[in-house]
Amino acid sequence: QQQVKQSPQSLIVQKGGISIINCAYENTAFDYFPWYQQFPGKGPALLIAIRPDVSEKKEGRFTISFNKSAKQFSLHIMDSQPGDSATYFCAARGDNFNKFYFGSGTKLNVKP
C-alpha cells in the first residue's frame, strides 16, 4: 500500500497564480518530509524539506505547510512561472536508513 498519498495527479495554473499540492501519510514514525522536483528526462532534485516539529518552511516562492495532527503536508508555489512546470513528488523518510517513501507525483503545467 502507498505510504504517502499525493494529490492532485495533475495541475494547470496560470502564470502568477498559486500552485498547491497536497500529501498525506499514516506512519507517525516518519521524521523528514522533502519535496522533489523532476523535469522531463532528468532525475528528481530536492526542492525544499521540513521536519515535523515545524509547521511551515519558506524558501523563496516555495512554502511547505505541515500539519502534524492531521498527518498532512502541502507545497505552495507562489507566483507560479512557466519554468516551474515539472513533476513534483512529496516524500517521507521512514527510518534511519534514509528509506524514503514517495508520493505518486503531481504534474504541474504553468500556462504563460
Partner 1 sequence: DTAVSQTPKYLVTQMGNDKSIKCEQNLGHDTMYWYKQDSKKFLKIMFSYNNKELIINETVPNRFSPKSPDKAHLNLHINSLELGDSAVYFCASSQLASGNTIYFGEGSWLTVV
CA 33/CA 1 separation, integer angstroms: 19
N residues, the chain: 112
CB of 90 to partner 1, least distance (A): 11
CB of 91 to partner 1, least distance (A): 8
Query: Residue 109, interface with partner 1 (CB under 8 A)?
Result: no
Residue 21 CB-density burial (10 A; 0-12 exposed, 13-18 middle, 19+ buried): buried
Query: Residue 68, interface with partner 1 (CB under 8 A)?
Result: no
Q: Sketch the per residue contact string, 18 through 57, with partner 1: x for CB under 8 A, - otherwise.
A: --------------x-x-x----xxxxxx--x--------
Residue 33 φ then ψ, to 5° = -130, 95
Sites of contact with partner 1 (CB under 8 A): 32, 34, 36, 41-46, 49, 87, 89, 93, 96-100, 102, 104-105, 107
